[in-house]
A and B are shown apart, each in its own frame.
Chain A
Amino acid sequence: MIGSFAIAWLGRLSWHAFPQAAVTRGAAVGIVLGALVVLTLLTYFHKWRWLWHEWLTTQDPKRIGVMYVIVAVAMLLRGGSDAVMMRLQQAVSVGSNNGPFSPDTFQQVFSAHGTIMIFFVAMGLMFGIINLVLPQQLGSRDVAFPFMNALSFWLFTSGMILINLSLVVGEFSAAGWLAYPPLSELKFSPGVGVDYWIWSLQIAGVGSLMSGINFLVTIVKNRCQGMTMMKMPMFAWSVFGSMILVAFAFPILTVTLTLLFLDRALGMHFFTAGAGGNAMMYVNLIWAWGHPEVYILVLPSFGIYSEIVATFSRKRLFGYTSMVWAIGAIVFLSFTVWLHHFFTMGAGADVNAVFGIATMLIAIPTGVKIFNWLFTMYRGRIRFTSPMVWFMGFVFLFITGGVTGVLMAVPAIDFQVHNSLFLVAHFHTMIISGVVFGFFAGLTYWLPKVLGFRLHEGLGKIAAWCWIIGFMLAFFPLYILGLMGATRRLDHYDASLGWQPLFIVAGIGAAVIVAGIVCQLLQLAVSIWQRNERRDLTGDPWNGRTLEWSVPSPTPFYVFTKLPVVTERDQFWADKQAGKKQGGYEDIILPKNSGVPIIIGGLSFLVGFGAIWHIWLLAIVGLLGIITALIVRSMNDEPEYVLTAKEVERLENARRRKLKEYAVYE
């Protein structure tokens, strides 16, 4: 009786689920205390109502974008601490010293690091920036489906909470960031770690898929009058390419995660070692999603660089049409190269050759883009602002990473460096310079538009330099170590190998990167402190070219008083040159707030938690709750409201009066 009760209500959950190791226990206590402090502060300052109405229920893409960025930055700190722990372990765990972490903890740490950095940092920053910028760039007020946009965010957050909960209740996967079977199968990973991995990615992944559809439709249908596809800003084009990839790649991830879970929970045999399973199929499936995922992240970043280089070179982007074709080529080719992640699996020389050549081909459109940026700078009047420092660091590092990538595209070479730190150094070069630097540059570039004041340039530049130098210190030794034979995911090695000095250099590099992150946080804090002096009164702090700079900073919730009309590629620049100003007032339809997205986010958390711990009752309740919430939402026939032209004019006048007050500080 008691037994069946426990299974229904607790599943696999028991007192033993709470952390035993000192490191995880510390982290768990930290998370719980942090959450308690936030909740207490909110209650103490009576901010719950404000939080609910202004943020948690909002459908304004600018606010959703801010929330994405906040979550992603928090996760950067989490994933960054994982990175520091790994560097620490590998710097000291030599010979008789076993380092601070047990092998099992170390495995969980590197699994969590990769998962969090890709899914919750890179994806979060990407969707955040797209939300902040894309609609305005298209001369639109909103995305195509505001409700679904909020829902995507809350699913993303729900997945994020789930993955961090693994620190407090249970354990995380120790099977690497892509959880290859048969290791990730029940037989070899009997705990809840892999299930945490599956469900946090599954829930966040469904959110990403919905975002992909949403932004795709936004770009196709929400462009302002006159903006043909070939007049779109390059960032919008890059998002278009990226979202096509999301729409094609994420369903594969959904299927793959589901199949792994079916193996683990229902005893199926998709990827098991026996009973007719095929583990190699998993590796194919996960990379059929995983390789496009790299381009999903890097394309928007390329778009950001295109905007930045044109603005700070005071020239229009060189080779716009070739940029568009390069994006198209990358979108196509990114689905033809997944096998290069496992040349050593034994597909045969001919198959390996085909995928090796396809991999080398993809360097061509990428090279086109690099040259276009360089030609944009050529004879431009360049301003070396902090976004440009990120960009210059990117060009140098990305070419290094690209060259090592083309090297590894040769299957014969790949056989030598497969699974080594050479590979780890290569993909970190691509992701950190190609994706992370791009998003940081984008944030520095667009935050004045979001916050209404400029960021501290000096600290921004120091941060960028710390990242660039720290990166080189942290990862160039890994290239050498990889060639010396150091494999990835080592928690211990022999002193006679002579690797320790290089690992120590890499550790110092990590410390320099941490200094860079501290500078970034400091930059934000100082800028908020000095916000009155830093107020952006013009709305156009960088002498920009695209439509988002034509509206005031911070962007009003209605964005444009009247939707703009476009005849040129860089419309705002052309308007400035001609001394024109688009304006006027019109009635505006805006979405009302809705609590349904956050509720569905919470319910899907219950579904995930129930499935992880086999508390099936909880999972079913969550699922029924989601269906009910959707039906309730569909009964709402008035999800929008009208802001009259008169009201817009009144708000505009009030804003102008406020600007005059701020001008005193100038």
Chain B
Amino acid sequence: MSEVTTLDLKRVEAEATDKTTFGFWVYLMTDCVLFASLFAVYAVLHGNTFGGPGGRELFKLPYVLVETIVLLTSSFTMGLAMLALQKRDKQAVVGWLLVTFVLGGVFLGMELSEFHAMVTEGNSWRRSGFLSSYFTLVGTHGLHITVGLIWMAVVGIFTLKKGLTDTVRKRLTLLSLFWHFLDVVWIFIFTVVYLLGSLNI
């Protein structure tokens, strides 16, 4: 019989995690391109108000600032969950995930009520090219947040039921990457859409 190697399962697992993490980074880059396209579309259309209101009339900066602080805080608490993960403290991981989930939910709720207010005032996405691109860009971010929240709920339940196994740890790490990524995208939305939009340039 020829030479036989047995599997080093630890190494196999490490390689798989390495691959998944790298793959997830590549996915995030493709998502970056997706948002970049939407930003480009917004940049082209942001002046096309077609006689309707522009950003200056529509955006309430203090409200959006609160939204922003809520989302940034959720990113911070997600970081705390990751620190707890490093210490293998399951209770703390679940606790911080829950805080993150609530903050994410508050952010989403605030965004939806902002949208709702605009639509009821007659400024829906049908009003103008500017509003179409506004709703789509910000809404796509909101959709990502929704996916993140579903994911968070699922991984949270897994953490509770299975404990911090290799798979669960891997998924938590990817989730936190995703969540921070959405945070970065929001910072661009806050700057480009809301801050610059309020200046009306």
**C-alpha spacing A549/B15, complex, angstroms:** 27
**C-alpha spacing A144/B37, complex, angstroms:** 28
A259 near B48 with CB under 8 A, answer no
A637 interfacial contact with B, CB 8 Å? yes
Q: Nearest CB to that of A222 among chain B residues? A: B19
Of B1, B23, B167, the contact of A145 (CB 8 Å cutoff): B23
Q: Mask for B174-197, Cβ within 8 A of A = 1, else 0?
A: 000000000000000000000000
B73 interfacial contact with A, CB 8 Å? no
Q: Contacting chain A: which of B5-13, B84-92, B95-103, B107-115?
A: B5-13
Q: Mask for A249-265, Cβ within 8 A of B = 1, else 0?
A: 01110111011001100
Q: Mask for B127-162, Cβ within 8 A of A = 1, else 0?
A: 111101101100000000000001000100010000
Q: Contacting chain B: which of A130-138, A322-330, A585-593, A601-609?
A: A585-593
Of B37, B126, B129, the contact of A255 (CB 8 Å cutoff): B37
Report chain B residues within 8 Å CB of A248.
30, 33
A267 near B4 with CB under 8 A, answer no
Q: Mask for A185-221, Cβ within 8 A of B = 1, else 0?
A: 0000000000000000000000001001110110011
Q: Is the interface of B mostly helix, strand, loop or mixed?
A: helix
| Least Cβ–Cβ distance between B15 and chain A, in angstroms | 8
B61 interfacial contact with A, CB 8 Å? no
A270 interfacial contact with B, CB 8 Å? yes
A252 near B37 with CB under 8 A, answer yes
B31 near A259 with CB under 8 A, answer no
B30 near A213 with CB under 8 A, answer yes
B30 near A275 with CB under 8 A, answer no
Q: Contacting chain B: which of A25-33, A120-128, A277-285?
A: A277-285
| Least Cβ–Cβ distance between B91 and chain A, in angstroms | 22
Knowing A266-B125, A589-B7 are in contact, say whether A276-B49 is a contact too (CB < 8 A). yes
Of B23, B136, B165, the contact of A259 (CB 8 Å cutoff): B136
A498 interfacial contact with B, CB 8 Å? no
Within 8 A of A (CB), among B27-52: 27, 29-31, 33-34, 37-38, 41, 44-45, 48-50
Report chain B residues within 8 Å CB of A634.
154, 158, 171
Report chain A residues within 8 Å CB of B22.
217, 220-221
| Least Cβ–Cβ distance between A265 and chain B, in angstroms | 11
B83 interfacial contact with A, CB 8 Å? no
Within 8 A of B (CB), among A610-643: 627, 631, 634-635, 637, 642
B150 near A627 with CB under 8 A, answer yes
**C-alpha spacing A269/B52, complex, angstroms:** 13
Report chain B residues within 8 Å CB of A275.
50, 126-129
A316 interfacial contact with B, CB 8 Å? no
Report chain A residues within 8 Å CB of B12.
589
A631 near B129 with CB under 8 A, answer no
Report chain B residues within 8 Å CB of A267.
125-126
B23 near A255 with CB under 8 A, answer no
A645 interfacial contact with B, CB 8 Å? yes
**C-alpha spacing A263/B154, complex, angstroms:** 34
| Least Cβ–Cβ distance between A179 and chain B, in angstroms | 17
**C-alpha spacing A160/B3, complex, angstroms:** 47
Knowing A259-B41, A277-B129 are in contact, say whether A649-B23 is a contact too (CB < 8 A). no
Q: Nearest CB to that of B5 among chain A residues? A: A586
A367 interfacial contact with B, CB 8 Å? no
B44 near A269 with CB under 8 A, answer no
Report chain A residues within 8 Å CB of B120.
none
| Least Cβ–Cβ distance between B116 and chain A, in angstroms | 16
A556 interfacial contact with B, CB 8 Å? no
Q: Mask for A1-41, Cβ within 8 A of B = 1, else 0?
A: 00000000000000000000000000000000000000000
Q: Which 8 A-B pairs have the closest CB atoms?
A: A276-B129, A276-B48, A268-B132, A276-B50, A251-B34, A251-B33, A255-B37, A586-B5
**22 residue pairs bridging A and B, Cβ less than 8 Å apart:** A145-B23, A247-B26, A247-B30, A247-B33, A248-B30, A250-B30, A251-B31, A251-B33, A255-B38, A256-B37, A258-B136, A270-B45, A270-B129, A276-B48, A276-B50, A285-B41, A562-B5, A585-B4, A587-B4, A587-B5, A587-B6, A649-B1
Q: Which residues of B contact A (CB under 8 A)?
A: 1-7, 12, 15, 18-20, 22-23, 26-27, 29-31, 33-34, 37-38, 41, 44-45, 48-50, 125-130, 132-133, 135-136, 150, 154, 158, 165, 167, 171
Further 20 A-B residue pairs, CB within 8 A, beyond A255-B37, A634-B154:
A144-B19, A144-B23, A145-B23, A221-B22, A248-B30, A248-B33, A251-B33, A252-B37, A254-B34, A258-B136, A266-B126, A268-B126, A270-B45, A276-B45, A276-B50, A276-B128, A277-B132, A278-B48, A589-B12, A637-B165
Q: Which residues of A contact B (CB under 8 A)?
A: 144-145, 209, 212-214, 216-217, 220-222, 247-248, 250-252, 254-256, 258-259, 262-263, 266-270, 272, 274-278, 281, 285, 288, 562, 583-587, 589, 627, 631, 634-635, 637, 642, 645, 649
